[in-house]
Amino acid sequence: MKTLKITVAISFILFFAGLISSSAIPLSSLSNGKPTHAIIYKVNVHISTDIDLCNMYQIVLVDGTGRMIAPPKGFIPGTATYTFSESGPVSGERIALMILNTQTKHYICPNELKTAPDVIKGDFNPGKEYNFNLFPVLNSDPRQVVNDPPKE
């Protein structure tokens, strides 16, 4: 009877050890401790620190049809890089935008930030990182869209 109890206990231990090891992330799918099964998008916002913002803005990543790839991230002055991810592989367009935050009040400002979108077309593979660059500038004419990065 004692032998049977020990055998059953060892069987349960081995069973649960097998379940745990089969559900763990394999070491080959890790890069610097991060899973490599996701496509990583980094949106770099190049903005002067002396710009006084009147409204709240958000960074958005969409596909070619306008569908959001991930939840938008609120723009925080002083934060230069915003990271998004999705599972893949996927093909198509990815578009980074900086727009007025749709969840907050908007104010009538003498100047608004205008930002041309950054578009990348092609194949997007897991474990790879894709970089976007946005160059917001103050624009007093809301009908004008700025398409070029500022000249330095």
Token digits of residue 12: 């349960």
CATH topology of domain 37-139: Immunoglobulin-like (2.60.40)
Q: Where are the domains of the chain?
A: 1-30, 37-139
Q: What would the pLDDT profile of 16-51 be if each residue is shown by its tens digit?
A: 445 454 444 444 444 555 556 899 999 999 998 777
Q: What would the pLDDT profile of 42-86 be if each residue is shown by its tens digit?
A: 999 999 877 778 889 999 999 999 999 999 999 998 899 999 999
Distance CA 14, CA 20 (A): 10
Distance CA 63, CA 86 (A): 11
Q: Residue 121: which of 92, 142, 141 has the closest Cα?
A: 92
Longest dimension (CA), the chain: 87
